[in-house]
Structure formats: C-alpha cells, structure tokens
Homo-oligomer: A and B are copies of this chain.
Amino acid sequence: MMPQPTNDRLLRALRRQPVDVTPVWLMRQAGRYLPEYRKVREQVGSFMDLCRTPELACEVTLQPLRRFPLDAAILFSDILTIPDAMGLGVSFVEGEGPRLAHPVRSIRDIDALGVPDPDRDLGYVMGAVRLIRHELGGRVPLIGFSGSPWTLATYLLEGGSSRDFRLTKTFLYEHRSHCHRMLQVLANAVSAYLVAQVHAGAQALMIFDTWGGILTPRDYRAFSLAYMQQIVQNVKAYDASVPIILFTKGGAAWLEAMTDTGCDALSLDWTTDIGVARTRVGERVALQGNLDPLVLYASPAVIRAEVSELLASFGPGSGHVFNLGHGLQPDMPIDHVAALVEAVHDLSPIYHQ
C-alpha cells in the first residue's frame, strides 16, 4: 500500500470539497529556472535521457518542492514520450525545440502507427511515477499527464514545433478521415498511457491540449475534444476517482463543451476571467489557473497584487487550484516564484472560512 497524501488540498479542490487554503502548483515548476535543475540536466546527454532515467526525473520533480511549499508535484516528463515510444525518434535541439526523425508524411505512415505498450515501451515513465510517489512519502499528491491526441498529432505532422501549422492544417483539411484514423491511434495510446500512470501511482491527471486553440470551433470539437472525451471515459472506466484536468490553450470560448467531457477540472489560460468562467461552468467542474505567467517578470509587490485580484475574482468557496495560464519560463526569477506561492497561501484563507 502506498501512503496517502497528508496535504490533500489539491485533490479536495479538484473535487470541490472544502479546503483551508487555495492549493497552488505551477506549470513547469520543475525546469531550467532552477540552478539545481540545470545541474542535473548537465549530467545527461540529452533532454530525453533525463526523461528516460527515473532517478533523475524523480529528482527534478522534487526540486521545486524543496524550495516552495507547493501543494502538488507533477511528473517530470515530456508530452513527446508517446511519439518517441511509437518509434518516431524524438530529440530536442537546443533553442529550437523538439524534432521527430520520422514525421508522418503519408497515409502509409499513419497505417504504420501502433499503440505503445505503456509498461514495455514507456516503462521509464511508470518507474518515475512509482519512485516519485515513494520519495514524496505522501506529503503532496502527484499529478500525471499527457499531451492531447490533437496536440501530439501536430508534432507528428509537422515533425516538430511550428508557427503556422501549415502541414497539419493542410492534412486536416484535405484528409479528414485519415486525420481521424491517426487521432484514434493517439487517443488509444494516451488512454493506455494515463491508465498506466494511475496504476503506477499518479493521483490526478492533466491533459495538455496546447494546440487545440489553433482550430476552428467545428474542428476543435471533432478533432481535439472528441478524443479527449474518449480518454476521460477510458480513464474513468479504470478508476472513477482520479480527477482529470483538461487544458486547451486558447480554448476560452469552449469551456462548456470541455466540461461536457466528464472531466473534473478545466485549466484556464490568462485570457479568461476566472470569475466569469466560474459562473459559466464552475458548478460542474473545478477551475485551475490562471495568472498571466509574464506577471512573474514584474516585482513581488505586483505579483502579490495580481494574485490577490485573481483570488477575489474566483471568490469564496472551493474548486480553485491556483496556477499560471501557461508554463514558467527559464529566465523567471526564483524569488518571484516564491512570492507567488506565498501570496496564494497568505491571501486565500479568507475565501475558505
């Protein structure tokens, strides 16, 4: 039996149960802005090697928790572990982002895609999850995650990052049924991957739909949201109790539809007023977010004022997990991150009396 968390604010807030303080964690809370992360990173040849070594992935997962009283840990990994396990050859070029050695360029490439076996092909991730749970010793819950099928599909089609998603969109508009076929494989892969993470010890899950916001509303529903809904159903069939957070960057207009998937929480980017979002969907899901990460370049006093305003916008009651609207950047000052976490814990108790 694994120990249960003693700080269960995150899980309670995701279930909209009463909490003493608004829980806070930060997207990319483990990463390059921490010198201790950079030190570990230097020990391995590549970024993927870091992800593939459970001891090191565990170490960098825990680093931010030693500095800040965060209310959750999130598995240190990358959304491209699945394409890598599919044999597409993921690597990271410094300053240029990810590269796939074998991008999807034809219908034949799609037909060749297989669903990785999480324990065999992604065993290093499950090893990291088990190790982190053990090392956490129940102090805070551990969040597992995956990219959404649509977001993974953009990397498969572009062979990396993109500014305009020309290859993705051309394929989407020209070959809709083949696009669906690819997304179904990816949805099966993500479902199996997340179920395995829960089996290994992840206590909450987040699906990062980083590129859902580039779609039209029609195509978002058909090509991104529908597959995330399948995943939610598959994971819930395995374990109905594990909270699932959906995050579509640029998805402010689609919160109601996202809620219909049966997920437990929506993560919001900073272009939504969280109070308005709560009136729209807050009776059905918890909300995570949504400070503009660029606020972290401003002074601690400004950070505290912005945290205060965001907490007030959500208002009294549970169902809020404080976070950024997008990830921390490598050049963000550590003491500003500390000021943010401190402000959330200092200023939120009045909303939970």
Q: Which residues of chain B are within 8 angstroms of A218 by Cβ–Cβ distance?
A: 273, 309
A197 vs B67: C-alpha distance in the bound complex, in angstroms? 57
Please tell me which one of the listed residues B165, B174, B213, B294 contacts residue A165 in the complex, with CB atoms under 8 A apart: B294
Interface centre among A169, A276, A299, A329 (most CB of B within 10 A): A169
- Restricting to A264-303, which residues have a CB under 8 Å from any CB of B? 270-273, 276, 292, 294-295, 297-299, 302
Interface size class of A (residues with CB under 8 A): 20 to 34
A102 vs B19: C-alpha distance in the bound complex, in angstroms? 51
Residue contact B252 to A294, C-beta cutoff 8 Å: no
A186 CB to nearest chain B CB (Å): 21
A-B contact pairs, 28 of them (CB 8 A): A164-B294, A164-B329, A165-B294, A166-B297, A169-B292, A169-B294, A169-B295, A170-B294, A170-B298, A173-B294, A173-B297, A173-B298, A173-B302, A174-B298, A174-B302, A213-B271, A214-B271, A216-B271, A217-B271, A217-B272, A217-B276, A218-B273, A218-B309, A250-B271, A252-B252, A253-B253, A253-B271, A253-B272
Residue contact B164 to A271, C-beta cutoff 8 Å: no
A139 CB to nearest chain B CB (Å): 33
- Restricting to A286-329, which residues have a CB under 8 Å from any CB of B? 292, 294-295, 297-299, 302, 306, 309, 329
Asked if A27 is an interface residue, CB under 8 A from chain B, the answer is no
- Restricting to A137-165, which residues have a CB under 8 Å from any CB of B? 164-165
A215 vs B273: C-alpha distance in the bound complex, in angstroms? 11
Q: Which residues of chain B are within 8 angstroms of A174 by Cβ–Cβ distance?
A: 298-299, 302
- Restricting to A50-109, which residues have a CB under 8 Å from any CB of B? none
A315 CB to nearest chain B CB (Å): 15
A198 vs B250: C-alpha distance in the bound complex, in angstroms? 36
Q: Which residues of chain B are within 8 angstroms of A173 by Cβ–Cβ distance?
A: 294-295, 297-298, 302, 306
Please name the residue on chain B nearest to A291 by beta carbon.
B216
Q: Which residues of chain B are within 8 angstroms of A306 by Cβ–Cβ distance?
A: 173
Please name the residue on chain B nearest to A174 by beta carbon.
B298
- Restricting to A320-353, which residues have a CB under 8 Å from any CB of B? 329
Please, what's the 1-or-0 string for A238-261, where 1 marks a CB less than 8 Å from any CB in chain B? 000000000000101100000000
A296 vs B166: C-alpha distance in the bound complex, in angstroms? 10
Give 16 new A-B contacts, CB below 8 A, not counting A164-B294, A170-B298, A216-B271: A166-B297, A169-B294, A170-B294, A173-B294, A173-B295, A173-B297, A173-B302, A213-B271, A216-B270, A216-B273, A216-B292, A217-B271, A217-B276, A253-B253, A253-B271, A253-B272
Q: A174-B302, A213-B271, A216-B271 are in contact. Are A169 and B253 (CB under 8 A)?
A: no
- Restricting to A195-235, which residues have a CB under 8 Å from any CB of B? 213-218
